[in-house]
Amino acid sequence: MIIEIKNRVDYLKVLFLSDIHGNYAALEAVWLHMQKHKADIVLCAGDLVSFGPRPAEVVEFIRKKEIQSILGNHEAVIAGIVSTKDFIFKDDAERDYINNSISRTLDFLDSGHIDYIKSLHYDIVSPEHRLIMTHSVPDMFTYPDMDSMNSFMRGRAERFLFYGHTHRPGVYTLENGKIAVNLPAVGKPKHGDYLAGYCVVEIASGKLRGLEFCFVDYDVQFVRKEITDRGFPKETLQFLL
């Protein structure tokens, strides 16, 4: 199901979040930093939970702030829509790690959190501003390449693709001048340090007028301690250097 963003047709300023993964301290720091931008809307490309020690608090924050989020692969498992058999693992150790993280995450979520997660959609699209946001392409489990991004956008009316999943920010020029933006991760980055990332985008008259990746410091040692104290797999610590 597609959600349309109702806003000014000639101009839109969007703040994009992605891959929070239960890291509530990182989310709070990002939210505070984001306030200086005075955006029209805040969107999240999914994976609110799993790995980080505060999944319930992240879900509650997203709901309270009325941030429009979509379904990530970890939400899809939490909601029972898919299983981790659909994930792409590099080895058995990674499979066990992710299964353990999801199991521990479920211990901290109640029925209200699960119902909210089940209500999330796969895409957010704004025809007026020619953008589409999805967790990844061609599906929420795959790490995209240029071929898959071009194939996904080919024939679509949208000009701008925003996605998460890889935790590695980047901007790519596609066929016919279309643009794909891989959003930075808030809570479990893979860009070389622990800093929490988000993206600022300005679209005017159907054209990209501004794009900035922002990175924010927070008390990462506190989060590392909580991961251990709350019984989440220690493998997550390697991403929070």
CATH of residue 100's domain is 3.60.21.10
Token pair of 241, please? Answer: 């250097």
Q: Is residue 241 part of a domain?
A: no
In what side-by-side order are the strands of the sheet with 196-204? 68-69, 41-44, 11-17, 196-204, 207-216
Which of 25, 105, 104, 34 lies closest to 61 in space, CA to CA?
Answer: 25
Q: Is residue 55 part of a domain?
A: yes
Q: Is residue 213 part of a domain?
A: yes
Compare 9 and 149 and report the one with higher pLDDT.
149
Chain-centroid distance of CA 60 in Å reads 16
Cα–Cα distance measured from residue 168 to residue 17, given in angstroms and rounded to the nearest whole number: 13
Number of domains in the chain: 1
Domain range enclosing 127: 2-14+26-217
Q: What is the pLDDT of residues 158-197, one digit of tens each?
A: 999 999 999 999 999 999 999 999 999 999 999 989 999 9
Pairing type for strands 179-182 and 196-204 reads: unpaired
Q: Output the pLDDT for position 120.
A: 96
Q: Is residue 181 part of a domain?
A: yes
Q: Is residue 206 part of a domain?
A: yes
User: Cα–Cα distances in Å, from 24 out to 29, 30, 31?
Assistant: 9, 10, 10
Query: Whole-model pTM?
Result: 0.95
Q: Output the pLDDT for position 239.
A: 77
Q: Is residue 35 part of a domain?
A: yes
